[in-house]
Amino acid sequence: MLTRFPDTLTPNTLIRELAALDEVAGLGLGLTYELAADIFAGRFSPAYSEAVAFGCDVMRGTLYARYFDLPDEAPANLALACRMRGGAGGRVRNVGNMMIIEQAQILTTHNLAQLTHRLELLPVLSERAADLAGTCLVRLLGRLRHPPPEHWSAGRASRTAAYAWRQMLFFLSIAPAPALPAFLERSAALMEREDREFQERLAPVLTGLRVVAAGGGFDARGRTDDGGRRLTAWGPTDLWLP
């Protein structure tokens, strides 16, 4: 899954199977499911707080942690912290829930940290991480280059883009240090092949990545001084998808 479909979330069906195997093996993977916004009750089970604590710990100091401004430890009230991080206050129920759930996925890494570290896959994945990050970017650009399927909502299209970007950042974070500057050069070369309109659509996102890679960061609204922005499915005021 991680190497064949690096740009997509681990689906609940696979998580369910892995959780069943984990019960037998006793590895304590601590996997979490993707939650449905329409039935989310505004609370997270202890498993999510445990996953946040693990994710924040193993990702501390990485590109992923700096990009998403991860806390040093799990918040005491995870749902409230996710609401504040996502700017979900005052939103209609489903939209607010999607923003909260997205932030929980960011904080937990949605099983990426658990699968990589607790299954001791890091030595193997680290060698391939730069290529996996490149696959995430190429597939993301391919999706954005064309209109989403007619049956997709704008929210789904934006979430799919954000998933790929988030997984890309994770892989860049576990890759050897020289991989990041090489990746930035590759991303710039890929964008040079696109038309001007497409380049302008993606410029703020790529600028934001370069700023964080250089040691900078985003402000409270997910922006940088030179026009960069953090890519999440839901921004403070709207869907990210341009």
Report pLDDT for 240: 56
Q: What are the tokens at 160?
A: 């799919």
Amino acid at 57: D
Q: How far apart are CA 223 and CA 52, in angstroms?
A: 24
Is-contact 241 158, C-beta < 8 A? yes
Report pLDDT for 1: 76
Q: 10-residue block means of pLDDT along the chain (242 residues)?
A: 90 95 93 92 94 96 97 93 82 80 96 96 95 95 80 74 95 96 96 92 94 95 92 69 54
Residues with Cβ within 8 Å of residue 135, at least 6 apart in sequence: 6, 7
Q: What are the tokens at 51?
A: 């996953």
Measure CA of the first residue to CA of the last residue in the chain; give whole Å.
28
Report pLDDT for 182: 96
b/e burial code for range 84-98 (CB count within 10 A of at least 16 → b)? ebbbbeebeeeebbb
Report pLDDT for 143: 85
